[in-house]
Amino acid sequence: MELTLEQRNHFDKEGYLFFPNLFSQEESQYLKAAVPELYKRREEYNFREKGSEAVRTNFAAHLYSKPFAKLARHPRMIKPVEELLGERLYMHQFKINGKMAFEGDVWQWHQDYGTWLNDDLMPSDRAMNVAIFLDEVTEFNGPLLFIPGSHKKGFIKAKHDLTTTSYPLWTLDNELITKLVDRAGGKEGGIVSPKGAAGSVILFHGCLVHASSNNLSPFNRISVYLSLCAVTNHIRRFKRKEYIAHRDFTPIECLPDDCLVREYDVNLPWENGVPASAFQTSLQELSE
């Protein structure tokens, strides 16, 4: 999968790319079928919504679930980011976000690089997200909202919101969001929301300002997010637990393109249990 010049220019200007139906129904269903078993686990790596049993985020499934281990090595997820960054990648974070019917809560306005810098000491914004829809995403079930071009602002100082939802986030204030939306076009394109069928993919810059509203519909919205970082840009601090911010900076080796519909061997280091080290933190900075 090679990006066109038009796609590269769009990413540079707007901060994201949207690929409708990049994965087939068979491929996305293979992944979706593995989610219920993961979500029912009573484990620390499953963050649940406040006052609810609904899972908000499952972390690190690529280390203990074969379908997601294969997705983490899929060339359609990895190669476009390698092309844009011009470097091999490692997996900084892997999560399955569940915006569940009637219960999926908001994700406040934020930049992901804000968290990666503030919590993990990632040196620069040479990292980004690739998200695959496992359900159809519509205007009703809490789709992602982007402010186009907001990545051009670079890192924006944020506040640490520890109370709004069950997951702490470095968030941006309403006054700034209003200014960014106005600059991006106000009511005429100042906020965009890519929507589409299961199997569609969004790639977006680590500094792109984004959010999502709660899901009041009877339709789930489950998406998988790969946070991919250039290997030379690896994090310098282990403030967060390893199942959230990974410490293995080995470059990702892609599997063949048909890996979701054919059998391939993959390494599952946490298949028989998450090691105690994955729940530990350290504030000691890494040496270069």
Q: Which tokens hold the place of 136?
A: 């159809």
Percent of the chain with pLDDT over 70: 98
Q: Once rounded to an integer, what is the mean pLDDT over residues 42-68? A: 94
| pLDDT on residue 100 | 93
Is the pLDDT at 127 greater than 80, yes or no?
yes
pTM of the model: 0.94
**Cβ(141)–Cβ(217) below 8 Å:** yes
**Cβ(98)–Cβ(104) below 8 Å:** yes
127-133 and 221-230: which strand pairing?
antiparallel
Q: Bridge partners of 192?
A: 146
Q: Bridge partners of 167?
A: none
Rounded-to-10 torsion of CA 245, 249, 250, 252: 50
Any idea where the domains of the chain sit in the sequence?
23-264+271-279
| pLDDT on residue 159 | 85
**Cβ(230)–Cβ(88) below 8 Å:** yes
Tell me the pLDDT band of 166, cut-offs 50, 70 and 90: low
The class of domain 23-264+271-279 in CATH terms is mainly beta
Tell me the pLDDT band of 254, cut-offs 50, 70 and 90: very high
Nearest residue to 77 via CA among 111, 125, 128, 139:
128
Q: CA-CA distance, 125 to 102, in Å (whole number)?
A: 34
Q: Once rounded to an integer, what is the mean pLDDT over residues 47-70? A: 94
